[in-house]
Structures are given as C-alpha cells and as structure tokens.
Amino acid sequence: MARHNTHRATGAAEIRFPLGTAGKAATGIALAGAGVFGVLSGAQAATAAPAPAPAAHKATTAAPQTAQAPVERATAPTLTFTSKLRYGSTGGNVSELQSALNAKGASLAVDGKFGPRTLAAVKDFQASSGIAVDGVVGPETRGAMNGGSGSIPGGTGKSAPVQNSNSSSSVLAAARSQIGTGYVWGASNPGSGFDCSGLTSYAYKAAGIDVPRTSSQQVAAARQIPQSQAQPGDLVAWPGHVGIYAGNGKVVDAGRTPQAVTERSIWGNPTFHTFR
C-alpha cells in the first residue's frame, strides 16, 4: 500500500481544510510535486481560493437638483396705533413697536414694556433716520417706520446721543434758573416746587430732551460714565436722588436738605450718567 509523504516544507504557511459534516473527512487537495495531501501552502491558497463574487453595483444616478426658492427679507409691520409711546409705556402698542424695531435690526423681547432697551432701539432708529432723537414714538417716528426708512445699525441696542454741547449748556442753565425754588415731593413746577427728579426732567425738557420722570428711570435710560468724562448737564445720581452736574465738582439739585434747589459741592460717591 502506498504511503503518503507526511513531511512538509519548513516554514511554509498552511491551511487545513475543516472536517465535513456527518463525521466525514473533507477530501484533501493533492498538489503535484509538493507531496502534500490535505495541506495547502499560503501562496498556493491565495491562488486556489475562489475569488469573491463582485458586489452588486448601486444606482449612481444623482437626484435632480431643484432650485431653492429665494428667501424674502422680512418687512417691518405697519404701526397702527396713534398714541405717543415713551419710556415707561406698556401694552399691546409697545409690543407692536418692538416687533417693528426688530424688523429694523433690533433684538428686543416683545414683552409690551417700554424699558431701557426699547428706548435705546428707538433712539438708534431715530438717529439713523435723521429725525429728532428724543426716544418718543410720535407721528414723525411712526411715519419713518411705516415709510420703511431708517434702520438700526448692527442692532447694537446702545443709546444714540441726544445731547450736544449746546443742549448740555441749556440743561444746566434751566436747572440753575430754578435755584431757590422750594423742595416739594412729587412736584415739577417752575418757581413753585420740585423734587429731585422733577427738577432734572424739567431741565432736560427745557433743552428739548425728553427723559423719564423718576430718578431710577432716568438712571436706567442714561449711559453711565466715569466721573472723569462727566460734563456740565450730565446726570449725577445717588441711591434715590439725582441732580444736574454743574462742573468743577458741583451739582444743581432739589434736595430735602436744604429743602430747596441749590448749587452745591458733590458729596459721597455718586455715579455719573449721560444722554450724550
């Protein structure tokens, strides 16, 4: 009986065929000249192994591109109210105004409250439209917004300047004209009586600048500055009290003490604010 050669080449890689089912040994592969039965060298395995079936090609036809519809720029809604709006106003008319300002470049919460950010946006729009910068939304401002003119550059939300050197001088002059007038809480009556914010709102109004009535509202509406940048006509503020800066470390204010409008030296550590 012929004997099979069981010697293998030293160092040759090999593949052993697995046993078949039902306990029958898989048939070996005889390689001519190799003298090996049931063993295949690595190089031969690569040649003898069946090539994998080619993968099915997928359809590569690109989906047709559709033209994108142009995006229309939002237009500002028409303001329908006729009443004047100013700092402190509330309600649906203010919400309508805020939506219109947002369409012009502002970034306001539409909450129906005419606060500092809405005031700043109104002033920015007025400045860009070339109309009086007073923060009041009256016929002129409504007309500019409804006419589509003006925008809020960059949507900065920063207050536009409302004072110049002439108006600042007018503010101080108006405040000084009431020196000697008595202090009356809640009053704003030239020659009769003022409280602190009554005097400051009177002085600014006399210079053509519309500001809120109370001290806290005035401080919120103005821009805080360091004392080194303060100029005559700016606002000087303490907690619950305001006055008009007179320069040289002095203020014109209506104080509970001495119960009158006076010009006196600044005391304590107030803050300085401007509408410039």
Tens-place pLDDT, residues 41-75: 444 444 445 555 555 444 444 444 444 444 334 45
Q: Among residues of the chain, what percentage have pLDDT more than 90?
A: 44
Average pLDDT over every residue of 154-160: 45
Q: Rounded distance, CA 190 to CA 146, Å?
A: 38
Q: Give the architecture (CATH level 2) of 92-155.
A: Orthogonal Bundle (1.10)
Matching CATH number, 165-274, of 3.30.200.20, 3.30.70.260, 3.50.50.60, 3.90.1720.10: 3.90.1720.10
Of 2 and 72, more confident: 2
CA distance from start to end of the chain? 118
Quick one: pLDDT at residue 128? Answer: 85
- Reading phi first (left if > 0) and then psi (alpha if -120 to 50, else beta), residue 42 is in alpha
Instruction: Give residue limits of the domains in the chain.
Output: 92-155, 165-274
Average pLDDT over every residue of 71-92: 77
Mean pLDDT of the residues in the chain: 77
pLDDT digits (tens, 9 = 90+) for 192-212: 999 999 999 999 999 888 889
Determine contact, residues 272/227, Cβ cutoff 8 Å.
Answer: yes
- Cβ-in-10-Å burial (0-12, 13-18, 19+) of 259 comes to exposed
Break the chain down into helix, strand, coil percent, rounded to 5: 30, 15, 55
pLDDT band at 27 (very low <50, low <70, confident <90, very high): very low
Helix (H, G, I), strand (E, B) or coil at 253: strand
pLDDT band at 129 (very low <50, low <70, confident <90, very high): confident
Tell me: pLDDT of 255 over 80.
yes
Q: Rounded distance, CA 254 to CA 23, Å?
A: 113
Determine contact, residues 248/174, Cβ cutoff 8 Å.
Answer: no
Tell me: pLDDT of 154 over 70.
no
Helix (H, G, I), strand (E, B) or coil at 212: coil
115-119, 158-162, 248-252, 261-265: lowest mean pLDDT where?
A: 158-162
